[in-house]
Structure 1
């Protein structure tokens, strides 16, 4: 392969499809897991699930009583 042809193949843009992203989020939602963070870099999708315990409490009052 010539250097010009090699450079053309390296410059090809890769990105994650919206369909793949929606399918991944649907699977996580159907499993009942809370999503904490989503990172999309090029063709890679990273979905980080939040702690289940943090979602169950609902309040972050650190044990303070209601007035």
Structure 2
């Protein structure tokens, strides 16, 4: 599923300022224009799950 992500569609459906960056095989980072209260940028890690879904994570511990 991760390989099928389309940056243009994400921009249309989510926010025009998002960017996709390849991390490692099977993993991508979604760069957003959003920030935490302290000003740090809000980045999301995207990866495939074993069930074929897409996992979205802020990189914190579950």
TM-score normalised over the length of structure 2: 0.33
Give the greater-gyration-radius structure (CA): 1
* Higher share of residues assigned strand: 2
